[in-house]
Each structure stands twice: as structure tokens, then as C-alpha cells.
Amino acid sequence: MTNRKQILAAALDFDGISQQEIADMITIPADASKGDYCLPCFKLAKTLRKSPVQIAEEAAGRLTCLPPPFKKAEAVNGYLNFFVDTADCAKQVLTEIEKKGASYGDSDEGEGKTVCIDYSSINIAKPFHIGHLCTTVIGGALYRIYKKLGYTPVGINHLGDWGTQFGKLIVAFKKWSSEEALHEKGMTELTSIYVRFHTEAETDPTLEDQARAWFKKIEDGDEEALRLYNLFKEITLKEVEKTYKRLKIKFDSYNGEAFYNDKMQPVLDELKEKGLLKKDDGAEIVDLSDDGMPPCLLVKADGATLYATRDLAAAYYRKKTYDFYKSLYVVAYQQNLHFRQVFKVLEKLGKEWAKDCVHVAFGMVSMESGAMSTRKGKVIYLEDVLNKAVEKSYEIINEKSPQLENKEETAEMVGVGAVIFSVLYNNRIKDIVFSYDKVLNFDGETGPYVQYTNARCLSVLNKVGKCDAVPDFSAVDNAEGQAVIALLERFPSVLRESVEKYEPCCIGRFLVDLCKSYNRFYLVHRITGEAEQVKKARAMLTNAVHTVLEEGLRLMGIDAPKKM
């Protein structure tokens, strides 16, 4: 859709001021009675050497014939207000959405630009729990939105697949488990023996020594140690793939911590060459005191590397491999300092692309029952949360729509969608306490509410049937219709705002606003039983709402049931 600010800027002519400068000054008034668009003339006064009032009045006098869809310009106290021909606007917006369908809002602005998105990043041999929900669905939504805007996203699951916990697991496996038990019980067995290891280690500290010895064997390439390590990894990935499938999440890379083991030394060597790596009580650090941060620890006194070392190696690898335009890290806000340090070290190394690395921080999600700990066995599996949400959805659907076909399939869409929407509706930095009753409310600002409104649109369209009349767009040129049209027109800019702010909640909130607006229109204006031209225009509006709701839900990773 043509940018209306650019249309207005082209129609205006001010000496010494570019069209782009004018377009950037144009705003949308909070009070619709003062116009649909507004140019405050105060910033122009110094350049044009006239009062804002005179500038606005002279410009209004020149604009005797405005380009479509504008019908009037009005000067008021130094403001130049523009009014849109709402019927013509409705025609433009609804015709475009009808023509483009789900591709409405698509853009080529990201063509040739790659965006790396590091998200989910589960730990091997640890459960996929509710704490992984935010990073997984925020990263997945950003992936899909970037793709819609023409970028090439690269989804990276930076697996936590290295560390002494694997030595602990081997010790625990050999003492208390078997391969048969692992294949039969999967992650449940791995979690159980991991918890038991920490319980037993409280009274038998030699277990920790055995764990370190087994991890050293993994590092040294011992055949038995590597076989068990890979078995744990295989079981974990097989199990989490089921949950990823339900959340509509896919990755382009599963390169985790272990992948960067042989890629850290060149980074450390470069730090030494540039005089940035310093010794501190046997450890090796980069001093960041001048930047108001504690030192970035890269090598411990015993020679072990850390997360920061591997993240630096990963950043080098991703830039070399993908030549990214942006590299996003969708990781909880507790890691704010870690990423500030890593990005600052990259900057000190002279990597101009350090500015393109972004920590997309988010708050924590917890259940009403409280906090979790893998070591103590207090874990809430994400799969269990999804299953319970689906189960509760089925109960609600069975009560409200007992005759509905495919109730199980619909319950899956509604339950899983409700969980995803509960995260993506909130600003990502906000902590969330998860409540089944709240997220499954069909009348609140929830996923089920958006899905239900979409199903309502499809029901209306089914009743209207085929209608070949020429639409009378004055039938939607009323307060309720104009509000819906204005929101529909905003959808492409909402997508851009989502990636500019790295905030999928822009889409979630937009969808709820669109549902509320359409439902007001639906209650006030009949669609079926009207003259064919009226029915056609209102059906076009209904179809446009359905198209945008369904596409918005898809971008969030949520299915849209056809009936509810």
C-alpha cells in the first residue's frame, strides 16, 4: 500500500525542505476529529521565516486539489490537518487484501539481509520445561515475521551440550540406570538419575570426582564416554522435537557449545595479539573496568573455558558463515551483563559488526505453584503444560459447542495457541505467572478470543455465500467500519514495528484490537439480509479481518480453527 505520508509530502512544496523531511514530520492526530493526518508547521518556521500559522494557512490555500485518498486540508493554529475520503480508503484497503490474501503485509525490505536468531537453546539431558517457553515462542515469532518482510532468517538452537553435568550423568547412568530404561522412559529417566546424583553427592563427595573424570574422558575423545554422551543427546533431541512440532518451531542449525570447542583458540589468540587478554590470579580476562563492567572471564585458572569464550567463538563463526545483518540472542534478562560484556569485547577487538549483535531479553515465566530446579527435581515440563491446556480446552469446547466436529483437533489448536499467545501478548521483558483459567478465557485478551473471532468471520462468510454484486463501500463508511479499516491498513506497519522493537507483542495486541473493533461492527451492522451491494462490501470487510487474523496468528505460531 502506498505510504500516505509520502503522498502528502509530494503534494506539499516548501523551499529548502525535502519531501522526506516533510514525510517524517507528518503525524496521526490522537483526536480523529482533527484529521486523519497532521503536519505541525512549527519546525518549518525557522527555515521559511514565517509563523507556523501563516505557513499552515498558505499551504492549505495551495492545496485546492488533493491526491486520493485525501479529500480536504484544513489549517488550524499552525497545524495543517488532512482528511481522508473514508469510502475511497475502504475500497483501496479491502480490494488490496482481497487481491493479496495472506501475502498482505509482505515486503522485500529485507532482501539480501540475513538475520541470525539464537533461541530456545535447550540443555541436553535436561527437561524442556516451562522456563524455555518464552525464548522458544519469541524466537519463532521473530523468525516468521522477518521472513515475511523479505529477510533471510537463520534459526539457531545453541544447545547446552557441554560441561561436567555429562560426567555426572554418566556416573549416574552406570550406577542406577540402563540403556533399556533410557529408551523406555527417555527424558524422565535422565532427569531422575540426574536428581539422584545430586542427592547422593551430598553424602558421597567422591561422586563429583568421578563425574569430573568422566567429563575429562569426553573431552579426550574416549569411545565409551562419547557413545553415552551422544546417546543422551539423541534421546533429548528426539523428545523435544515433539514439543517443537506442536509449537511450530524449526531450526536451521543445532550447533551448540560443543561445536565451538575447536573455534575458541583463534579468538583467544587474537585477544592476546591485541593486548586485550590479561592474567588475573591464573585466569585470563578482558578488563572492562573503563566500561563500567566487571572483567569478562574467558579462561579459568584450571584452563577451562566459559560461556563467554564460546559465545565469542560463535559470534565469529556466525559472521563468517552467514555475514549477518543482525544477530539476535533471545535470552532471559538475567544474562544482560553477560551479553554486554561479550559485545563490548567484540567492539574492543575492532569488529564493527559488534553493533549488529542484539540481546533480545525477556522476563521469566513461572507457574502459580512457584519456582523450579532441575537438580531438586522441581520441574514443570512444557509438554505437561501444553497437555493440560489442551485438556481444559476440550472441556470448554465440549460444554460450549458439544456438536462441534473434530473437537480433539480444535482443542489442540486452542490449548497450544492459548499458551503461545499468553507469552506473545505481553511485552517480552515482563515476568509472567502462568494461569490456565486466564489464558483459556474466550472473552478476554487471549488466543482463544482471537481464534473465536476468526471462526465467527468464517461463519459469516459461509452464510453470505457467493456474491458477485459491485460493492457499495459506503456500507462500511461508518464509525465502526472506519475503525476496522484503519486497523487493517496498519497491519504492514505493525509488522515493521515488531522487528524494529524485536517485540512480537505488537502483533498480539494488534490482533486483539482488530477483534474488538470487528465485533463492534458485527453487533451494529447486519451483513446477511441486506441489499447485495451492501452485503458484498461488508463481506469484503469480514474477509479482510479473517485474512489478517489468520496471518497474524500464523506469524505467532498459532493455528486458526475454522469452527469453534
Q: Tell me, what's the pLDDT at 368?
A: 65
Q: Tell me, what's the pLDDT at 333?
A: 95
Q: Cα dist. 351→135, 178, 342 in Å?
A: 27, 48, 12
Rounded percentage of the chain residues whose pLDDT exceeds 90: 80
Q: Cα dist. 47→43, 81, 113, 129 in Å?
A: 8, 21, 38, 60
Q: Tell me, what's the pLDDT at 289?
A: 95
Average pLDDT, the chain: 93
Q: How confident is the model at residue 375 (pLDDT cuts 50, 70, 90)?
A: very low
- Residue type at position 564: M
Peptide bond into 295 cis (omega under 30): no
3-class SS of residue 270: helix
DSSP string over 411-436: HHHHHHHHHHHHHHTS-TTS-EEE-H
Query: Residue 371: is its pLDDT beyond 60?
Result: no
Full 3-state SS string of 27-58: ECCCCHHHCCEEEECHHHHHHHCCCHHHHHHH
All structural domains of the chain: 4-84 (3.30.1360.70), 116-367 (3.40.50.620)
The cell 507457574 sits on which residue? 367
Model confidence over 208-248: pLDDT tens digits? 999 999 999 998 899 999 999 999 999 999 989 999 999 99
Contact (CB, 8 A) for 546 and 458:
yes
Contact (CB, 8 A) for 84 and 7:
no
Supply φ then ψ for residue 293, to 5 degrees: -130, 155
Straight-line distance from the first to the last Cα atom of the chain, in angstroms, rounded to the nearest whole number = 33
DSSP β-bridge partners for residue 154: 116
Average pLDDT over residues 493-516: 97
Q: Tell me, what's the pLDDT at 433?
A: 80
Q: Cα dist. 564→105, 437, 516 in Å?
A: 27, 18, 18
Q: Cα dist. 394→142, 237, 301, 381, 418 in Å?
A: 29, 29, 56, 20, 13
DSSP string over 79-93: EEEEEE-HHHHHHHH
Measured between alpha carbons, how far is 236 from 227 in angstroms, rounded to an integer? 14
Non-local (6+) Cβ contacts of 503 within 8 A are: 427, 428, 497
Non-local (6+) Cβ contacts of 396 within 8 A are: 414, 440, 442
Q: Tell me, what's the pLDDT at 374?
A: 45
- Residue type at position 334: Q
Query: Residue 4: is its pLDDT beyond 50?
Result: yes
Contact (CB, 8 A) for 465 and 535:
no
Catalytic residue among 132, 326, 351, 359: 132
Contact (CB, 8 A) for 481 and 521:
yes
Model confidence over 121-143: pLDDT tens digits? 999 988 788 889 999 999 999 99
Query: Residue 379: is its pLDDT beyond 70?
Result: no
Contact (CB, 8 A) for 252 and 120:
no
Measured between alpha carbons, how far is 92 from 247 in angstroms, rounded to an integer? 35
* 338 classed as catalytic: no
Average pLDDT over residues 305-332: 97
- Residue type at position 467: C
3-class SS of residue 362: strand
Measured between alpha carbons, how far is 247 from 382 in angstroms, rounded to an integer? 11
Catalytic residue among 91, 129, 348, 536: 129
- Provide Rg for the chain, Cα atoms: 29
Catalytic residue among 34, 100, 113, 126: 126
Contact (CB, 8 A) for 101 and 166:
no
Query: Residue 282: is its pLDDT beyond 60?
Result: yes
Q: How many CB atoms lie within 10 A of CB 44?
A: 23
Model confidence over 263-273: pLDDT tens digits? 999 999 999 99
Q: How confident is the model at residue 370 (pLDDT cuts 50, 70, 90)?
A: low
Taking each helix axis from N to C end, the angle separating 223-246 and 165-176, rounded to the nearest 10 degrees, works out to 100
In this predicted structure, which of 93-107, 293-307, 500-514 has the lowest mean pLDDT?
293-307
User: 2 or 469, which is more confident?
Assistant: 469
Measured between alpha carbons, how far is 471 from 563 in angstroms, rounded to an integer? 27
Contact (CB, 8 A) for 140 and 249:
yes
Contact (CB, 8 A) for 216 and 226:
no
